[in-house]
Amino acid sequence: MEPYAAGWLSIVPPIVAIVLALLTKEVLSSLLIGILTGTLIYTIGTDGNVIMDTLQTTFTLMGNKVDFNILIFTSLLGALVYVVAMSGGTKAYGNWAVERVKTRRATLFSTSGLGILIFIDDYFNCLSVGTVMRPLCDRYNVSRAKLAYIIDSTAAPVCIIAPVSSWAAAVGSSLKGNGVFESDMAAFIASIPWNFYALLSIFMVFFIIATGLDFGPMRRSEERAAAGDTGGVKGGGAEPPKPNPRGKVSDMLIPICALIVLAVLSLMYSGGYWGDDPAYHTFQSSIGNSSAASALVWAAFGAVLVAFLLYVPRKLVPFSDFMQGLLEGMKLMLPANIILILAWTLSGVCRDLISTPQFVESIVTQSGAGLSLFLPAVVFVIAAFLAFSTGTAWGTFGILIPIVVPVVQGIDPSLTIVVLSATLAGSVFGDHCSPISDTTILSSAGAGCNHIEHVATQLPYALLVAACSAVGYLVAGLSHGNLWLSLGTALLLLIVSVVVLHSMRGRQKTAAA
């Protein structure tokens, strides 16, 4: 299928999907309608049969875009979570943690800290943190929306500033051969202090936890949770398992630790650490060259095997129950997997069929010459829009970096790192809050939160951080790259805005009374 330049029509499908999802609170039909809108535009533009070619294009593209490694990983992780719960390990950990984590705030801080510690890959982060912390958050009436927000905000925003991560590898691949930077890793590290969105997102998580200054839909979710309704959801029709009373904390920690260790080893292996090429015989280079999706499948399978050897011989979970538990756990991940398939298809419609990225490229190229000092802020906004529309950060900075780096080199080379960082930050923002982003989907799945509720409650927080980041990039351009002035302005604006937005709800309640 040859791509068709649809112009302004190329942004219609993601807008249709996002608007419908927010209005109807139903993501599956919204994504499917967005996909069909895009394939219809493509079919009309290429003079095809409006009905049959639209359907054929849709399902052909869907088959081509499915990443079975990710689907297998999420299914195996769901299976692992279920059998760990069957063993009684999850319940034992919850009882153990309640004795030591005495407050709701400590629970939230623990969740955030765990999210930051798991920085190797965002997929692994999203599902692992939810698995471990969900029982404890339920014990202290933390809303599933707040848990999903913390998971999502310590996934991609952390990975994009971690030099040893799958994201660093993706950025490095986009920087290769540009002739501007001495090394890909050096450029990535230089971009970290300028990645305002990632830094402010992480700061906001801890600031909100420390102060309790929630606002918007998140505040309402937290108020409902305080009354006992955490907003948890079940998926796939699977019933929660009955835990074995003989389960121990180690019955949960050993499989989870095995998953973490095996994930690191698998990433190293897939990156060539033990291969023939000596260039990849270091931890950093092998991680940068790794295949995250396949490595995580190996790790999840290994963790399930560890659980089998830990539970079945001790008769903690009988063999037949263990195998049935694997199936029930996979059912739990079915809704998330379906959403992932549809999100990948919509992204493929935009990228491969109707040339949405190329349309955005033309905007950057045509307006770049007249942007000058406003370039960092403008690039941030464009990257954010593209990533939000397509649901992919990697695809966004993979497209924009080769374009914006030469543009800024021709306009003001002193702003090269700033503009590079703005590209990464905008991409992460779009990926962080887009309803069709895979990390957004996995965060809601990991937290057991309704997907649309996660999007609706997180969006005001993400938009506020993005707005403050845009102001920071505007100051960076006007100040010719003054880091402390730019970051300080954005940080101060964020703090003031959170306080004001929180107090507005209080004034509204007083007026209503």
Residues whose CB is less than 8 angstroms from the CB of residue 126 and which lie 6 or more positions away in sequence, other chains included:
151, 152, 155, 439, 442, 443, 445, 446
- Predicted pLDDT of residue 313: 93
pLDDT attached to residue 237: 36
Q: CA–CA separation, 244 vs 188, rounded Å?
A: 47
pLDDT by residue (tens digit) across 439-479? 888 888 888 888 888 999 999 999 999 999 999 999 998 88
Does the structure show a pLDDT above 50 at 66? yes
> Taking a C-beta distance cutoff of 8 angstroms, is the pair 308, 402 a contact?
no
Say what the pLDDT of residue 510 is.
43
pLDDT at 328 over 70: yes
| For range 476-505, the mean pLDDT | 90
Check pLDDT > 90 for residue 200.
yes
Global confidence as pTM:
0.70
Q: What is the chain's length?
A: 513
pLDDT, residue 511, reads 45
* pLDDT at 90 (0 to 100): 73
Give the three-class secondary structure for 449: strand
How confident is the model at residue 169, as a pLDDT?
A: 61
CB atoms within 10 A of CB 319: 12
Residue range 342-354: mean pLDDT, rounded:
81
**Tokens linked to 152:** 């999502």
**Token digits for 457?**
């409650």
Q: State the DSSP code for 373.
A: G
Which pLDDT value is given to residue 147?
92
Residue range 487-496, pLDDT digits in tens: 999 999 999 9
What does pLDDT average to over the chain? 82
What's the confidence (pLDDT) of residue 165? 63
Over range 369-376, report the average pLDDT: 69
What is d(CA 369, CA 411) in angstroms, rounded to the nearest whole number? Answer: 7
CB 174, CB 420: distance < 8 Å: no
More confident residue, 253 or 193: 193
* Residues 465 and 200: beta-carbon distance below 8 Å: yes
With a CB cutoff of 8 Å and minimum separation 6, the contacts of 143 are 218, 221, 222, 224, 225, 230, 231
DSSP annotation of 227: T
Residue 216 in this model has a pLDDT that exceeds 80: yes
Q: 79 or 340, which is more confident?
A: 79
DSSP 3-state of 232: strand
Q: Which amino acid is at 55?
A: L
**3-state class (DSSP) for residue 472:** helix
CA 100 – CA 93 distance, rounded (Å): 11
Closest residue by Cα to residue 188 from 200, 173, 203, 201 = 173
Give the tens place of pLDDT for each residue, 235-248. 433 445 778 888 88
> What does the pLDDT look like over 393-443, one tens digit per residue?
876 776 677 667 777 776 777 888 898 899 999 989 988 888 878 788 888
Burial 452-461 (b: 16+ CB within 10 A, else e): bbbbbbbbbb
Per-residue pLDDT, 52: 92
Is 485's pLDDT higher than 80? yes
Domain ranges of the chain: 67-336+352-513
- Under DSSP, is residue 397 helix (H, G, I), strand (E, B) or coil? helix
* The pair of three-digit structure tokens given for residue 24, joined into one six-digit string: 């109807």
Torsion of CA 28, 443, 419, 497, to 10 degrees: 100
Q: What is the pLDDT of residue 389?
A: 77
61 vs 174, higher pLDDT: 61
The two three-digit tokens of residue 281, written as one number: 């015989």
Q: pLDDT band at residue 4, thresholds of 50, 70 and 90? A: confident
Which candidate, 299, 243, 242, places its Cα nearest to that of 127? 299
Q: Distance (Å, rounded) from C-alpha 228 to C-alpha 243?
A: 22
Predicted confidence at residue 236, as pLDDT, reads 38
Backbone φ and ψ of 449, nearest 5°: -110, 145
Q: What are the φ/ψ torsions at residue 271 (nearest 5 degrees)? A: -85, 0
For 28-32, the CB contacts below 8 A with 24+ separation are 28/338, 28/339, 28/342, 30/435, 31/339, 31/342, 31/343, 31/345, 31/346, 31/436, 32/342
pLDDT at residue 288, rounded to an integer: 65
- Judge whether residue 183 has pLDDT over 60: no
Q: Which range, 175-179, 285-289, 371-375, 383-387, has the best average confidence (pLDDT)? A: 383-387
Are 78 and 131 in contact, with CB atoms under 8 Å apart? no
* Local confidence band at 174 (pLDDT 50, 70, 90 cut-offs): low
| Span between the terminal Cα atoms of the chain, in Å | 61
CA–CA separation, 470 and 379 (whole Å): 10
